[in-house]
């Protein structure tokens, strides 16, 4: 049976993706979805604008980035 994809992270599980900026640095996307749904919506908006990236680092952690000029 196929698993549902995340609207934010796609095929990568939300608990495996860590935010790498701002006040939520180090928290998983799943944790943000549960505790701060308004911030999750902000991340969705950034994804729709193309201002969003998920990268896998050398330590094999998926990190979510947003272009800094759009955060100010």
Alpha-carbon span 35 to 23, nearest angstrom: 13
**Phi, psi at residue 50, to the nearest 5°?**
80, 20
Alpha-carbon span 29 to 63, nearest angstrom: 10
Alpha-carbon span 72 to 69, nearest angstrom: 6
Instruction: Give me the pLDDT at residue 1, please.
Output: 47
Q: Per residue in 15-63, pLDDT tens?
A: 999 999 889 999 999 999 999 999 999 999 999 999 989 999 999 999 9
* pTM assigned to the model: 0.82
Three-state secondary structure call for residue 60? coil
């Amino acid at each position: 049976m196929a698993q549902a994809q995340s609207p934010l992270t796609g095929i990568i599980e939300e608990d495996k993706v860590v935010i790498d900026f701002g006040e939520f640095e180090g928290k998983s996307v799943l944790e943000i979805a549960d505790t701060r749904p308004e911030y999750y919506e902000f991340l969705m908006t950034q994804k729709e604008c193309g201002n969003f990236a998920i990268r896998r680092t050398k330590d094999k952690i998926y990190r979510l980035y947003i272009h800094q000029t759009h955060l100010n």
